[in-house]
Amino acid sequence: MPDILIIDDEPNIRRMVSALLGADGFTTREAPDGASGVRAATEREPDAVLLDLMMPGELDGMATLTRLRETVPDVPVVMMSGRAGLADAVKATKLGAFHFLEKPLTPESVLLTLRSALELRLARREARTLREDFGLAGEMVGESPAMQRVRALIERVAPTDARVLIMGESGTGKELVAAAIHRGSARRERPFVRVNCAAIPRDLVESEMFGHERGAFTGALTRRIGRFELADTGTLFLDEVGDLGADAQAKLLRAIEAREIERVGGGKPIAVDVRIVAATNMDLERAVADGKFREDLYFRLNVIPFSLPPLRERPADITPLVLHFSALYRARSGRPAPRWSEEALALLHRYRWPGNVRELANIVERLAILHAGSEVTARDVSAVLRLDPDAAAPAGAASSSGALPAPIALDRPLSDALDEYERLLITRALSMTAGNVAEAARRLQTDRPNLYRRMRRLGIDWGGSSGA
């Protein structure tokens, strides 16, 4: 049951509101003044606070609100007063009040406001839990040149308020990058709200994004706070933004440009302060050219572009990721992690990983469950990946033994298959030599200028590593 703290110096008001809320399934606590109210909120954090503006004693309503924002910042505070003016309401809002109710209170206004406040509380609690739980699950694992470049860009971009567009295949860790940008910003203690644009029915996008008022449409029995309001002062992560329809794109563009939204069925604009981080696995430039995505919205979102490499382009990170996911499984389950044979790791390196890091995490968890505390062999890996275990070679040996570093599909033009094979050999050699191009050229039995020409032709960017 939601726990509501009522801070008011009038006993009749406290009794009346407590009875109203109790009949609707809430639990309540009461405090007769600001100082005792702050103590009660600190001892046991409530889900929401109803606070009187005009109170005698050490702390009046405004001072109590300020103290509550310092001690329990995630708790929404609803102000109440029968003698307040517009200036008081504006001041309370600037100090962080969720809403302002005028006395005499009506049951409908109290209940509607508290339900909206509790939605905000839930979003803040989920954001805080995510921040606390990031730990292993939120680490960006890998020291390949590609991952080092991603980390460096996050460090430069996160402290700003610039909009970011993260592009990459499914499973490459776009949400992880968005969360890292949020954690590195000045908004880190504020909400991080995620919207999966691909999962919202098109006729509900506006309500989901901007909220709605009671009675705005059939089934709108209560007011709903949208994701923009829930993310106010924080970060709004628009995952799979390329899946938004034309109407939703237009409304999103207006919200970004005007920095305000309007609930469905509402009659006034609501100012919002959110940082937008968007992600997509689509080629948005192509979508713009095809008329499927608004060009002006694309330019608004693409202030800072991030391009995440697929796992097959950073093979040096596979072993660290396997060990990381094994440790994560051990921490979550309490069961011993498996040991990974050299042949098993070599076989994991041969696989193309079409599902990228997400697929690797699932495979590691499956093998960790099946072989907890024992050794994972090449046969075990082949059973889940359908690879030939006899083709597995020790990590780093594939390019010299002649074994293919990854299976090559034959249902494509020969030139494409040869390019893929060459790309895999070069990236494997660079991975084995920690990016030393001269040493990679020696292992591939070619000269360095020729290797550079091939890298440029194949689009392999190794960041100008040592030995170049």
What does the pLDDT look like over 370-380, one tens digit per residue? 998 899 999 99
Under the banding of pLDDT at 50, 70 and 90, the label for residue 155 is very high
pLDDT digits (tens, 9 = 90+) for 224-233: 888 999 999 9
What is the C-alpha separation between 277 and 166, in angstroms, rounded? 8
Evaluate whether residue 379 is within a structural domain. Answer: yes
- The domain spanning residue 325 has which CATH number? 1.10.8.60
Domain boundary among 309, 342, 370: 309
- Cβ pair 208, 168 in contact under 8 A: no
- The domain spanning residue 439 has which CATH number? 1.10.10
SS3 content of the chain, % helix, strand, coil (to 5): 50, 15, 35
My answer on whether 396 and 437 are in the same domain is: no
Domain boundary among 257, 279, 309: 309
My answer on whether 153 and 302 are in the same domain is: yes
pLDDT digits (tens, 9 = 90+) for 79-94: 998 776 778 878 888 8
What is the C-alpha separation between 149 and 349, in angstroms, rounded? 22
My answer on whether 187 and 61 are in the same domain is: no
pLDDT digits (tens, 9 = 90+) for 265-313: 887 889 999 999 999 999 999 999 999 999 999 999 999 999 999 999 8
What is the average pLDDT across 437-466?
A: 76
Give the residue, 253 or 221, on which the prediction is more confident.
253
Under the banding of pLDDT at 50, 70 and 90, the label for residue 129 is low
Evaluate whether residue 280 is within a structural domain. Answer: yes
- The domain spanning residue 117 has which CATH number? 3.40.50.2300
Evaluate whether residue 53 is within a structural domain. Answer: yes
- The domain spanning residue 218 has which CATH number? 3.40.50.300
My answer on whether 202 and 272 are in the same domain is: yes
- Cβ pair 108, 99 in contact under 8 A: no
My answer on whether 150 and 282 are in the same domain is: yes
Q: Which of 313, 375, 384, 320 is nearest to 347 (CA)?
A: 384
My answer on whether 278 and 383 are in the same domain is: no
Tokens encoding 141: 């694992």
My answer on whether 88 and 173 are in the same domain is: no
pLDDT greater than 90 at residue 52: yes
Cis omega (within 30 of 0) on the bond before 104? yes
pLDDT greater than 80 at residue 395: no
Domain boundary among 378, 404, 430: 404
My answer on whether 452 and 393 are in the same domain is: no
Domain membership of residue 395 as a residue range: 310-404
pLDDT digits (tens, 9 = 90+) for 396-410: 333 333 334 444 445
pLDDT digits (tens, 9 = 90+) for 314-347: 998 999 999 889 888 887 777 888 999 989 999 9
My answer on whether 242 and 210 are in the same domain is: yes
My answer on whether 153 and 277 are in the same domain is: yes
Distance of CA 357 to the CA centre of its chain: 16
The amino acid present at 303, given as its one-letter code, is: V
What pTM, to 2 d.p., does this model score? 0.60
Evaluate whether residue 137 is within a structural domain. Answer: no
What is the average pLDDT across 34-41?
A: 94
- Cβ pair 336, 302 in contact under 8 A: no
Evaluate whether residue 130 is within a structural domain. Answer: no
What is the C-alpha separation between 198 and 200, in angstroms, rounded? 6
Under the banding of pLDDT at 50, 70 and 90, the label for residue 364 is very high
| Domain total in the chain | 4
Evaluate whether residue 386 is within a structural domain. Answer: yes
What is the C-alpha separation between 264 and 243, in angstroms, rounded? 21
My answer on whether 79 and 30 are in the same domain is: yes
My answer on whether 449 and 381 are in the same domain is: no
Under the banding of pLDDT at 50, 70 and 90, the label for residue 142 is confident
Evaluate whether residue 138 is within a structural domain. Answer: no
- Cβ pair 287, 241 in contact under 8 A: no
Evaluate whether residue 134 is within a structural domain. Answer: no
